Structure 1
């Protein structure tokens, strides 16, 4: 089960590039401590208020952080992190933990050490867009082709709008090739966008499907309408306005900021990695200190501060899309994160080596930010981030009602309706990247008591959640209050979503011909049949040589025997080749030559094997061979057909190096 969930997370991560994959899966053996009961020096901390809510003071926050962060980083093998808390227009506390450079033992300085916030960078892009909306240069509901020098095709006659882009409902399939690379030069924003436009596979506004390409498109529109390069615009209209001197979108990082840049690591115990380069820069290329991120949070909590007019900031922070009513909603750029009755707005971000989270509590005028320079052991940063947010909320904004929710009498009936297999909306659909659908489909089942069960989304301790239906087709986790919901149309469940990621990606019920619930067992069995057939060639030759026996086949039968087994070996090479290519893609480089070779091989070999297997079965019956030979020839033909089916459905038989 852990292997399946790891593959599920890997598929999401590859599709994500930057953003929300870490939030989608919270599986790690890393232990996260409960809130400290004493200060770091051993002294007692202030007693909580009568209602269970502690006063959010620097002293109390520092005490909590001293109990939480050092252990969490050490247990997770994470070198360093920065944490910032702002309140009422001021920095309450900003803390550096661990090292920005492990070998040099250089500590993290919260004021000056730069981390890569990944997709949290999008918030600067969205703020820039709203500045132009404010100036009347952008209409949120106009066709974006009005602002571009190339055309985004309409989908079913419907144009793409900036509102679609900012709510992650543009309808694009996932575009992840070379999103993050280790070596330059990086393509210009214009070149990166015009190289390939992902297919639009959903009607605009209909389906949340997080898109780095669409965000970069928004940044390009800012560049065109402002008449200045995107990096210049952000520096002049955001960074300079807020006095942010340790922040940049530029790649490579400007020379004056390079000494402050934290090194990225796979884990604290490994060697540092090169500076990451982001092709779709507006989607996540910034580097910023914790102290400067505080200035940005304070501005948004102050109704836009010097960045936006209050009415513009209010519009940006208000719900703009509600994929499944009852779950978290999408604002314009921010997404909602409900906790303990509070409606926070947030954005997470992940590059390969840096992992961040920014959360604002507008009603409380409070913001928190955490960023680390490694995912750590077994992805430890994911549960750390989740626990950081939840423990902060539980400590300072606790829930008023902590009773276990009462379950609706429809729980079992509705759970049975929801059970099935679902596809992630954020995925490649019309290119070979669709193969990841084999790994990333979501399985929803019922347990022995008929209750809802979703193995992919577990607790911080990697245990199954216990779901209680608290509203029709809305379930709450007994352990931590997270939500899971379903959308019903014409009496059938067509879509489900997990609360923390519901605003930006959902899961639609897989059509029968792509449902891995039946396809995956058949595919595994088929690959076993093909592998045994391939192995029978050398194994048979070895045995015949050993015992001095001869192969009882001649002429066309002998030629068919050999060619079929050759194609079996080649057919096995195709999925193995794709597995290798995917592993290379995780390292940030995807060679186009390798993609083309595998595609050509797949087009020739997989249909070829099916044709040869059918011909082999025909000859086996015509030659009146033994029952085993006939049976095996039929099994091989069926196995070849299943492989061909999967290859067509998941685009392994296709041409094109873009994904």
Structure 2
């Protein structure tokens, strides 16, 4: 059964304050950049109703960052169709899925900044205080080569690509039990299955190990540490890593592959997949990775600029094709070189049954895009929207790097 589409938009565009709002803009974008920013907003707004209809997505929310600050957001369609509740970009919650990894990476970097974590040293000695008797199982590969930076960049050769989560009524495992054998990942244990440092192998399990690292070195539960170190300083007031999902509303309803409403799942692997947030809050997150309009440096006082630079630097042997073929990976973000010479940083997020989201930014230009959706078609919708955004900004890219159908969204604005 297909999901019936209701052509309805919610929330007119509105101005957002960043984590450190100024009374007036200190630096205006160049005229050609301001024009492209406006074009991006107009083209996205014109395209979204038709994209929702084309891909049978009940609801979505979009936010843009311009000139280093959150600037515009809009809700489209319905968050909960059977109740007629519209998507509101400021209050409708979505599961961010693997975008959680970017928040986790930033949380780790706060510990690096304090000298509690060493990026280029083996991770296991740094988690021993919280690991009990658990160890990475013996393997043909060197466990001491599993460094924190390699875990962050999916180059540590670790198992467990991702987690399915637990349906309502099924208790989540403890973190250590999950590391020994994740019930929502085929009872797979976390282990080294490829030579560390030799190639990209996406590992949600590695981020569960980072969850243990944060809990150990921050001496607090992961959800509290991430909130205090990243979410609260950035005024991401609607964001959290909950043990169980928030009720709907404000959490959007999500739908299975047959278009039937499905309950939201909960996670042991909070660091890999557990963030619950709004598009506006994710726009605030993106500002941390770019300069601000009033000479604010990347990091915005939360992290040193050098750590942001390290996050946005590709790790050796991190080639991947998460969204763009020819991407590489830094510390919690995928990275893609644009034809202009600038770098696109991005991360997709996909949780069962059908949360499909994307964050993307061009730090050098101070621009960013957030899109969150609640049905299967959101995977294709976010790609079309990313193409529209890049084209409107004049940032050319190789169409075949996106699967050859990047231009398909153009018909949505005819």
TM-score (normalised: structure 2): 0.78
Aligned to 1:345: 345
Aligned equivalents of 1:185, 1:347: Cα separation in 2:
29
Contact 1:322 1:328 in 2 (8 A): no
Aligned equivalents of 2:141, 2:91: Cα separation in 1:
49
Aligned to 2:379: 382
Aligned to 1:191: 177
SS at match of 2:82: coil
Contact 1:52 1:398 in 2 (8 A): no
Query: Aligned-pair distance for 1:66?
Result: 2.5
User: Does residue 460 of structure 1 match 2:405?
Assistant: yes
User: Does residue 246 of structure 1 match 2:245?
Assistant: no
> Residues 70 and 214 of structure 1: is their aligned pair in 2 closer, same or farther, counting only changes over 3 Å?
same
Bigger helix fraction: 1
- Per-residue CA deviations over 1:1-28 (Å, capped at 9, x if unaligned) read xxxxxxxxxxxxxxxxxxxxxxxxxxxx
Query: Aligned-pair distance for 1:154?
Result: 5.9
Query: Aligned-pair distance for 1:261?
Result: 0.8
Aligned equivalents of 1:64, 1:373: Cα separation in 2:
22
Aligned to 2:222: 230
User: Does residue 68 of structure 1 match 2:57?
Assistant: no
- Per-residue CA deviations over 1:433-492 (Å, capped at 9, x if unaligned) read xxxxxxxxxxxxxxxxxxxxx9x98422899xxxxxxxxxxxxxxxxxxxxxxxxxxxxx
Contact 1:383 1:460 in 2 (8 A): no
Aligned ranges for residues 71-82 of structure 1 at < 5 Å? 71-82=50-61
Aligned equivalents of 1:234, 1:95: Cα separation in 2:
27
- Per-residue CA deviations over 1:127-181 (Å, capped at 9, x if unaligned) read 01111111111111222121222222464335211111011011123455x6323
Aligned to 1:202: 194
> Residues 100 and 55 of structure 1: is their aligned pair in 2 closer, same or farther, counting only changes over 3 Å?
same
Contact 1:216 1:282 in 2 (8 A): yes
Contact 1:133 1:139 in 2 (8 A): yes
Corresponding residue to 2:167 among 182, 189, 193: 182
Aligned to 2:213: 221
> Residues 254 and 321 of structure 1: is their aligned pair in 2 closer, same or farther, counting only changes over 3 Å?
same
Aligned to 2:9: none
Contact 1:343 1:361 in 2 (8 A): yes
Aligned to 2:18: none
Contact 2:141 2:196 in 1 (8 A): no
Count of residues paired in the alignment: 353
Query: Aligned-pair distance for 1:340?
Result: 3.4
Larger radius of gyration: 1
Unmatched 5+ stretches in structure 2: 1-30, 182-187, 292-297, 409-414
Aligned to 2:153: 167
User: Does residue 305 of structure 1 match 2:297?
Assistant: no
- Per-residue CA deviations over 1:187-241 (Å, capped at 9, x if unaligned) read 2323322335334221101121100000111111001111100011111111111
Aligned to 1:550: none
Aligned to 2:108: 129
Aligned equivalents of 2:105, 2:79: Cα separation in 1:
29
Aligned to 2:16: none
- Per-residue CA deviations over 1:334-356 (Å, capped at 9, x if unaligned) read 11123333311111110122101
User: Does residue 117 of structure 1 match 2:96?
Assistant: yes
Query: Aligned-pair distance for 1:383?
Result: 2.9
Aligned equivalents of 1:314, 1:458: Cα separation in 2:
29
Aligned equivalents of 1:270, 1:323: Cα separation in 2:
36
TM-score (normalised: structure 1): 0.50
Aligned to 2:20: none
Unmatched 5+ stretches in structure 1: 1-50, 405-453, 464-659
